[in-house]
Amino acid sequence: MLFGVDTKPNDDWWIGRNEPDIHNLNKLEALMFQGNGYFGIRSTLEEHYMEEKRDMFVLGTFDKYENEATELPNLPDIVNLEIVINGKVMKLNHGSVTQYQRGFNIKNGEMTRSFIWKYDGKAYRFKFWRFVSMARRHLFVSKVEVAPLDDSARIQIRSGIDGQQTNSGTQHLVDGTKRLFNARFIQMQTRTQQSKVKFALTEFHRLCLNGTDLNMNPRLKLNRRQIYADYSVDVDKEQTLTIVKYANIFSSIDKDLKDNVSKDSLAELEQTSQLSYDKLLAETTQAWDEKVWQKSLIKISSHNNKPQIAINFARYQLLANTPQDWRMNIGAKGMTGEGYKGHTFWDTEMFMLPYYILTLPQYAHDLLKYRYLGLVGAKKKAHENGYRGAQYPWEAALPEDAESAPIWGNADIVTGKPMKILSGFIEQHITSDVAFGVMQYLQATGDKTFAHEMGYEIVLQCAKFWASRLEWNSQKNYYEITDVIGPDEYKEHVSNDAYTNYMAHWTMKCGADIIADLRQNDPKDYKRLNEKIGLEELYKALIQRASMLYVPSPNEQLVIPQDDNYLSYKKIDVTKYKNSEKDKEDVSEIFKDFDLKELDKIQVTKQPDVLLLLLLFEDKFSKQIIKDNWDYYEPKTTHDSSLSYSPHAILANDLGLYSKAFEYYEKACQVDLGTNQESSVKGTHIGSLAGIWNVVIEGFGGVRITDKGLRIQPHIPKSWQSLEFSIIWKNTKINIFVSHKYFSVMSKKKIKFICHDHIYQVEPDEKLLIEF
């Protein structure tokens, strides 16, 4: 597996880079992203460089500029710290640099950097450390050491809060109050222009010389949207100057706000700045351990530790971006960059949710609760489009918003005109995906409270939407769904997209089953939901429409048509475009040769559509059908979305195409960790990172949440010796060990699982061993 970052053979928790590659800073900024689910910072360096993308976001603080899509505002930078030595600004491209090492600890998110900087024949040692606290959600701490090695030096420090950041030019913040408190604490207050979310950011610096606190007060430097603390210290040869910076951010939408942002921010920093860097880091390490690493195990024994690093990295990025508040959800790029504006897609339910359901169910619950709150926006969207029930937005920001997708995208290469992004209008499968996520959660957790308080209502509203959305085709005598975009976004305005139709059918069927079950077993809840949704009428509509909805069946060659016309289009050789990398401007190779109108008429697929359907509903189709569709569609798929690799890897493993499965697994791992320097510039790919977990646990580990219960049917790659992991099923932790000869299952309580259509029962604390 080729990584674009350095790793150490005996350390499963370290990624880094041993050269000061200042022309490729952006990728590491995203990979070494530091966050705690409340806020997150790209790992730009302390000193400034031309290409840097300084980004800091607080989840949920969306703002909307006129004529632009709502987005998470890029907040003031608190990482900056400029060091001037004898009048010369320290930068890696001034003078010379040796012994450079930049490292990132995946276990607690601490970033470190050290090097010797030589300028004018004199050498200085630099060391940097910093982290975003997982234990105190508002806190960021950094530490810098500077030691002149050859001669004494005057060292000037400028560090502060820089609110001149923009979202690619859009300034979301007003210039607010900047001031000093108690001679030591600098603070900036600001707010977003339109949504009027208030922020306060406070910073405190402690400067020590050879360990002795200099008790220095700063000189203030104020600019528009900037406040800096300046210090100047004369340091002798081989003395060490240490600067510890404590910074925090509070917003007016914080759940834990006690007074107001300014007072809370100052009070917190007065308290935390009393504590040492090491103490606060230890708290963070412990919080990471408790929140994620101790909760579930994944141990891969392989010929090298790259698979282990990849899964650790994926889980780090997931938790660093997991909201600690159900009013928020995870963006397609989390908070790791401006890409996709902080918006939530189907990526959450279809790619990320399995990880949460099976290892951190409380977070899965909260992510779905966000969708429950989102019923307000989804009902609004359905209503605006003339439908009933709830139509979830393709891109979601605040739960009460209807659709947040931008309307215009890149220019068309043929016409030169900006292309309209139609997903927000017609990519409608998201409404089934949300319902699917709810049902998977309920299957695996058995959380009845959620089902009755929120889950059923979400599914029923989604079903109600589909019942109103179907169109009657009087010639064919069936209901159909025209004018949509399926998961293959190369095709717009298609009729009867296989994935969309099957998922709509499943949603309506599921809605009808819920109504029947409630009517029989829970008359009280039935009555309550009947008053809210009209269950009597809905039930009839669901039964009638689901039975009359056209779902494309396999043709004579056993191929399920991706839509009404796909199979009639011309075929091209897509080898050139398969896995090709997007360029700096984020344009895919295929769009340099064809525009969307042309792609519309070619049998080429962006990411799995029929194949995803077959993966989700494997019980409905024979192995032969799955294999024949794989043979048909896999060669036509460009994987132009990073979400494409993990389902292909899992399906290939299911089909016994083990080397293909491993190839796709490696590709998923390399989306962010690989050598392509452009791939993570706008942020990492959280859905694809979750996909790494999906391949390891659902693919190689063979774990699936099915209608019939838990399925465990593992097969690990040839180059792995074993895979050991734990999952949580109905509140019970299950430990699974897989080797090439056997697999074993153990749990504290009695559990049942299915393997190759056989039901096994595991007795408490007894290891059940199944030989292959």
Least distance (Å) between residue 606 CB and ligand BGC: 6
- Residues in the interface with ligand BGC (CB under 6 A) total 12
Site track for ligand BGC across 680-699, x = CB under 6 A: -------x------------
Rounded CA-CA distance 217/690 in Å is 46
Least distance (Å) between residue 473 CB and ligand BGC: 28
In the complex with ligand BGC, the residue whose CB is nearer, 430 or 696, is: 430
Name residue 229's amino acid. A
- The only residue of 508, 643, 751, 762 in contact with ligand BGC, by rule CB under 6 A: 643
Closest CA relative to residue 635, chosen from 656, 660, 659: 660
Kindly state the helix (H) or strand (E) to which residue 7 belongs, with its residue range.
strand 6-8
* E-strand stretches of 438-504: 471-473, 478-480
Those residues with Cβ within 8 angstroms of residue 553's Cβ, 6 or more apart along the chain or in another chain = 560
Residue 205 contacts residue 193 (beta carbons within 8 Å): no
Out of 203, 489, 492, 698, the active site residue is: 489
Q: Which residues ranging from 319 to 378 are in contact with ligand BGC (CB under 6 A)?
A: 332, 340, 345-347
Q: Strand, coil or helix: what is 523? A: helix
In the complex with ligand BGC, the residue whose CB is nearer, 314 or 643, is: 643
Least distance (Å) between residue 490 CB and ligand BGC: 9
- The only residue of 344, 641, 653, 747 in contact with ligand BGC, by rule CB under 6 A: 641
Task: Kindly tell me the burial class for residue 85, based on how many C-beta atoms sit within 10 Å of its own C-beta (0-12, 13-18, 19 or more).
Answer: buried
In the complex with ligand BGC, the residue whose CB is nearer, 269 or 596, is: 596
In the complex with ligand BGC, the residue whose CB is nearer, 272 or 641, is: 641
- The only residue of 338, 366, 489, 672 in contact with ligand BGC, by rule CB under 6 A: 489
**Whole-Å CA distances, 151 to 5, 144, 154, 569:** 35, 19, 10, 74
Query: Is 71 a binder of ligand BGC (CB under 6 A)?
Result: no
Least distance (Å) between residue 624 CB and ligand BGC: 28
Exposure string for 738-751, b = 16+ CB within 10 A, e = fewer = bbeeebbbbbeeeb
- Per the annotation, the verdict on 489 as an active-site residue is yes
Least distance (Å) between residue 362 CB and ligand BGC: 24
* Residue 278 annotated as binding site: no
Least distance (Å) between residue 95 CB and ligand BGC: 42
Rounded CA-CA distance 729/713 in Å is 16
In the complex with ligand BGC, the residue whose CB is nearer, 227 or 686, is: 686
Rounded CA-CA distance 486/492 in Å is 8
584: left (phi over 0), alpha (psi -120 to 50) or beta: alpha
CA angle 331/336/337 to nearest 5° reads 90
Q: Which residues ranging from 580 to 619 are in contact with ligand BGC (CB under 6 A)?
A: 606-607
* Residue 346 annotated as binding site: yes
CA angle 464/470/474 to nearest 5° reads 145
* Residue 606 annotated as binding site: yes
Rounded CA-CA distance 154/374 in Å is 56
**Whole-Å CA distances, 391 to 313, 383, 533:** 34, 8, 14
Q: Which residues ranging from 182 to 211 are in contact with ligand BGC (CB under 6 A)?
A: none
What's CA 240's distance to the chain center, in Å?
A: 40
In the complex with ligand BGC, the residue whose CB is nearer, 351 or 539, is: 351
Least distance (Å) between residue 757 CB and ligand BGC: 33
Identify any residues that bridge with 110 across adjacent strands, giving them in sequence order. 105
* Residue 693 annotated as binding site: no
Residues with active-site annotation = 489
Positions that interact with ligand BGC (CB under 6 A): 332, 340, 345-347, 487, 489, 606-607, 641, 643, 687
**Residue numbering of the annotated binding site:** 346-347, 606-607
**Residue numbering of the annotated binding site for substrate:** 346-347, 606-607
